[in-house]
Structure 1
């Protein structure tokens, strides 16, 4: 968990933020282990789904996972200094993997990287836009050809800042918030500036950018989630969550986030209105309180899933936030959950094993 989030949790406990006690709940159900694969890497980053395949990476390894196969179809020692720090990404038969010091691309099945780029300063989390990989190196945003590694263009923000978080693409426009108080809209084709908005005093640093329709959803260091117009950056709405916004999940008209004040919120991305909220903690230490969230929220068409520090997966109804199940994981896991179809999901144990798990039937 982010150290700042731990501090906020401690502050909430000290202040006794407990408007009401939680109702007694049922003992957690159990997730069933269907299969496991040994990756040989105890520090796996979140798995990603790409073109029907599962990609995994960690301190030493990069590979493919096929839930229908008994062995891993491809795995390579990536040799990235410092290990992978963000989830691998794939497009059109090429996989991108990297960390703060280096980023590289592979064709699955091959052992040698197609190309490597070593940081001048520090590499930020990338995004893929077709066959273009866009990522920060210090205060510069680079657009790199995914197959050749050739830098096609770059955009320089204000010096002494770092583009640590991933940019996001909507149509032919790329949005980035490099930590200088500005939101930049760039031409995806050549990196030319289309417009920018300077709101250092309000948001300081925009993080975790997501596009939903014509709304850019962005978190800030100033305890607010923003909905901005993708056409001009003007604010449509803001939501105060009681902590800095770092890990909102945005999908199909809903922005979900967990606040250390003790709630999961679901925000309408068009209007900014709260659709629902679900109580997770009264901060009095009751046995039915959730542990603090371990991983980012994930969702499917019907449910929102939250993994807590007690290795319990909480399943909420996407339409109204009601609790559907609390499911105990069979062993301690890394901080991510990747949902598959047919009530299955992928986690990674602290041992380095990739786990295929199945949920029991849930309450209506």
Structure 2
């Protein structure tokens, strides 16, 4: 897997993201498309022509609100009891039928929403820019309770039994009582001077909640009291300036068995032992949008919008898809034989899992697809920033040769004596 060249192209991957200076300014940060002039030095790669092998069939499509309202948000839909639930930046929460897209209920909460929704079948949980955490009935959308955190909620809350685990932008993690909204515990993180505007969503495992933090840190918290069970520095901050030292872990951790896979911005892709927090392997790769996993591979969208496949056991690179570079891709989702990502122009791209060639494409909306596509019951649900919600299935497939911009890459990551990890040397250009 190729080593990321971190700072000779800083404008494209980093300065398109939102940066925040200090805890007191977190809620006032704004999106920065490009700093340093009117012309982006790395504009989105134009769409290439190819012969689709898989038909992305739209079952239904409907408008469910204002979407992200031109803000950098990750409002991922949730599935609950045959309904798809979506929230928008102006406070609307809408449930539609998963089969036909018809509206079941809609609730206007009157606050700018920024995190969620999440659902356990009986409750729907959403978070706001103001730190509100709100629980609704999954049946009719009526409000059950409303509580408050001290900072903006950008992540998806996680429901586990009678507990709601929430990660806020200031790197605090809360455990709320799911029945009444009372705060049971709080873990206080340490926020660096400069961070990206993003928060990873907790991953729930039998022993606790695993949360990616700023500064390249990963922590597992006990669900009863919120105390750390272990803390691991996946990527130590390096560099002379605060900008160079950003190593936030904003991509959601992915757990497979007894291993959690994570990626840091301007840092590494890594495999971590769930029981101990020990680093099993680590590779140099700047990750922001997210990753997905199947039985033997990881699929990653990196900060340059290359899509990678890597071996789960060793981190060895399998292929790299470069034809979507700088198209501001979403985190990947997996359905059938495809890796699916959305882009800045409302297109959904299907990439073959086996070799990384482009296999499918369709346009869902005119707005950007920031949120990770949701897979449930053999369908794909896509929520675009303009408020478009769509359901899709996969049609017939045909074999095809790999495209020119798909490359086989990499070698296994190397474990040093004592457990320290170093990334392998990059492949020859």
TM-score, normalization: structure 1?
Answer: 0.79
Q: Is it true that 1:25 corresponds to 2:50 in the alignment? A: yes
1:226 alignment counterpart? 270
Q: Is it true that 1:103 corresponds to 2:133 in the alignment? A: yes
Distance across 1 between alignment mates of 2:57 and 2:380: 10
Shift in CA distance, 116/160, structure 1 to aligned 2, threshold 3 Å: farther
Q: Is it true that 1:128 corresponds to 2:159 in the alignment? A: yes
Which of 108, 118, 121 lines up with 1:89 in the alignment?
118
Which of 38, 60, 66 lines up with 1:35 in the alignment?
60
| Structure 2 portions without partners, runs of 5+ | 1-12, 18-32, 70-74, 239-245, 400-429
Which of 168, 180, 193 lines up with 1:148 in the alignment?
180
Q: Kindly state the Cα deviation for residue 303 of structure 1 after the two structures are TM-superposed.
A: 1.4
Shift in CA distance, 171/113, structure 1 to aligned 2, threshold 3 Å: same
Alignment of 1:226-305 (within 5 A): 226-241=270-285, 244-252=286-294, 253-259=296-302, 261=304, 263-280=306-323, 292-305=327-340
Comparing 161-170 and 305-314, the one that deviates more: 161-170
Check whether the contact 1:312–1:329 (CA below 8 A) recurs between aligned residues. Answer: yes
Shift in CA distance, 233/318, structure 1 to aligned 2, threshold 3 Å: same
1:287 alignment counterpart? none
Check whether the contact 2:287–2:303 (CA below 8 A) recurs between aligned residues. Answer: no
Comparing 99-108 and 345-354, the one that deviates more: 345-354
User: SS at 2:214's partner residue?
Assistant: coil
Shift in CA distance, 319/189, structure 1 to aligned 2, threshold 3 Å: farther
Q: Is it true that 1:113 corresponds to 2:143 in the alignment? A: yes
Shift in CA distance, 219/181, structure 1 to aligned 2, threshold 3 Å: closer
- Structure 1, residues 170-229: CA drift from partner, whole Å, max 9, x if none? 212222233255332221222223222346336843232222222221221333212111
Q: Kindly state the Cα deviation for residue 28 of structure 1 after the two structures are TM-superposed.
A: 10
Q: Kindly state the Cα deviation for residue 27 of structure 1 after the two structures are TM-superposed.
A: 8.1
Check whether the contact 2:215–2:237 (CA below 8 A) recurs between aligned residues. Answer: no
User: SS at 2:397's partner residue?
Assistant: coil
Shift in CA distance, 339/153, structure 1 to aligned 2, threshold 3 Å: closer
Q: Kindly state the Cα deviation for residue 312 of structure 1 after the two structures are TM-superposed.
A: 3.0
How large is the RMSD of aligned CA atoms in angstroms?
Answer: 3.6
Distance across 2 between alignment mates of 1:213 and 1:88: 25
Which of 182, 190, 193 lines up with 1:158 in the alignment?
190
| Structure 1 portions without partners, runs of 5+ | 282-289
Distance across 2 between alignment mates of 1:3 and 1:88: 28
Comparing 141-150 and 252-261, the one that deviates more: 252-261
Distance across 1 between alignment mates of 2:101 and 2:320: 41
Q: Is it true that 1:200 corresponds to 2:232 in the alignment? A: no
Q: Kindly state the Cα deviation for residue 266 of structure 1 after the two structures are TM-superposed.
A: 1.0
Distance across 2 between alignment mates of 1:26 and 1:339: 25
Shift in CA distance, 149/221, structure 1 to aligned 2, threshold 3 Å: same
Shift in CA distance, 2/115, structure 1 to aligned 2, threshold 3 Å: farther
Distance across 2 between alignment mates of 1:29 and 1:317: 10
Q: Kindly state the Cα deviation for residue 311 of structure 1 after the two structures are TM-superposed.
A: 3.3
User: SS at 2:237's partner residue?
Assistant: helix
Distance across 1 between alignment mates of 2:316 and 2:390: 37
